[in-house]
Structure 1
């Protein structure tokens, strides 16, 4: 497992930041799922408490990613087709976006969540194609949506944040160190705390905490964490994440560590063209299929 975060440092980095608590709706769903015989109608009722979340969930479920045999029109049907555990992971990720973005209409916030959705979708499709297992693929989707969540907290306090990050990428800076210098915290640490507060698996929390620290992840991570990290970085590269967020191409982080990242997944660079077609077939635009 990667190096344990210094919790004293983490606590000090929270000065001025509030980690959003896990919504009551998710707690209710988890309690119902934990029952010996879960009631699908009650779970659907919990999700339907918020029309926006329910609608977005159905939109995702009906995307090419899930390859369902027919269009799903209700949350209850989605529960039956996807299975409860898979649906909960999906809803968990969607609720995060609604929780952190409530009332926010600025352009960078829209870019942030649009890119997170695209990275999550690409992570899911790549993990499925590489046959890494359904649960693992679903975790990769969750990671894609959660990994940059800490950015929303910094942005809420610092309007200059997007411009500063763009400059950091142009200079090829280590993002975590750059943010620590400017804000005395990083979106990796804040994202880790959000994920931990919301009860995500420890491996997901670890990858979020170090997703801009390839040397640490690749040297000290357990194999599933390395694979999850590699899928995330591959997805970011293939959808052009830095271009989506900052209008910058190429991504210096990928350029430095692409060989090691691909090694984790037993891939060669020439195979990225084929993976671009895989993403295209799943309805995901990417730099290898225009």
Structure 2
């Protein structure tokens, strides 16, 4: 599928298709400000601190993450400025984006707490995998990991009967997850998630990767940019690593497409086993505020 075709599909779905009746959370103004600062040639950490400090809960979440076992600091940070100095501007932006995303979706947090934990683990796993490869932007991978399945809580929030569809989609053996979604609602979380990513002005490669993350034929489609295909393959490996950590025994998608993803990225199965061990403490240190 070409990029032009993907854009046409997303625009049509948003304006005239089933998605038009789903409430897509608008991009928070704080994220707009953050994106504008990051677009500068030399982002100002002080300006990022001002944006982070504009929301007390967001500032507290940033400090909490900075003091988590993920970073194993000897002395705890006490302020937003200290957190940014310790983490760096771009990693800080990833954390703030995740916070804003979680708080933009109005749904009982107890229903999807595990969803956000898994999304955070996927984000960290994608950055870890990207770090072993040449020329990949770790922060783009992190952001992508957060948004890959964001269509699920958005549909839970806005589509009648979707909770039942989720149960059915996870249980069915005769068709894929997205096929079950489309049979019930004429759309799926990949399309909805891509529209969210586009609405939130995320990089184009993130938007397209979110749309295609269950379409593994894209890995062999030369019309799809290489960076998008890399994100799709990395996300599949990351999901496998998260599932291993969380004790998910049945991974139908990985069993069917895992080898293709590994071959595409020229990664061996032994490397994946190494990452299982390397990411264990990272996954255990995940906190969601």
Report the counterpart of residue 230 of structure 2 in structure 1.
227
Gap change, CA 1:78 and 1:152, over 3 Å in 2: same
Q: Deviations over 1:111-160 (max 9, x none)?
A: 221211121122222222x1445x62221111111111111121013464
Using the TM superposition, give the Cα deviation of residue 62 of structure 1 relative to its aligned residue in structure 2, in angstroms: 4.1
Q: How big is each residue's C-alpha offset from its partner over 1:208-233, in whole Å with a ceiling of 9 and x where there is no partner?
A: 01111111244343222222111111
C-alpha distance 231-68 of structure 1, shift in aligned 2 (>3 A): farther
Deviation at 1:106, TM superposition (A): 4.2
3-state DSSP of counterpart to 1:207: helix
Partner residue of 1:236 out of 227, 232, 239: 239
State yes or no: 1:110 paired with 2:113.
yes
Alpha carbons of structure 1 residues 76 and 174: separation in structure 2 relative to 1, 3 Å? same
**Contact 2:219/2:264, CA 8 A, preserved across alignment:** no
Query: Structure 1 pair 59/265, CA: closer, same or farther in 2 (3 Å)?
Result: farther
Unaligned runs of 5+ in 1: 286-290
- In structure 2, what is the equivalent of residue 144 of structure 1? 145
CA distance in 1, matches of 2:165, 2:226: 34
Taking structure 1 as the reference length, the TM-score comes to 0.83
Contact 1:124–1:137 (CA under 8 A) maintained in structure 2: yes
**Change in 2 beyond 3 A, CA 1:164/1:34:** closer
Contact (CA 8 Å) 2:144, 2:210: kept in 1 or not? yes
Counterpart CA distance in 1 for 2:256 and 2:217 is: 10
Equivalence for 1:77: 82
Give the 5 Å matches for 1:1-290: 2=2, 4-5=5-6, 6=9, 7-11=11-15, 12-34=17-39, 39-63=44-68, 65=70, 71-100=76-105, 102=106, 104-107=108-111, 109-128=112-131, 130-132=132-134, 136-158=137-159, 160-172=161-173, 173-220=175-222, 221-240=224-243, 249-284=249-284
* Per-residue deviation, 1:92: 1.7
Further displaced range: 61-70 or 156-165: 61-70
CA shift, 1:283, in A, is 4.3
Moved more, 144-153 or 161-170: 161-170
Deviation readout 1:10-41 (Å, 9 max, x if unpaired): 43132321211111112223344456775533
TM-score calculated relative to the size of structure 2: 0.83
2:240–2:254 contact (8 Å) kept in structure 1: yes
Q: Could you say what the CA RMSD is over the residues aligned between the two structures, in angstroms?
A: 2.9
- Partner Cα distance (2:169, 2:42) in 1: 51
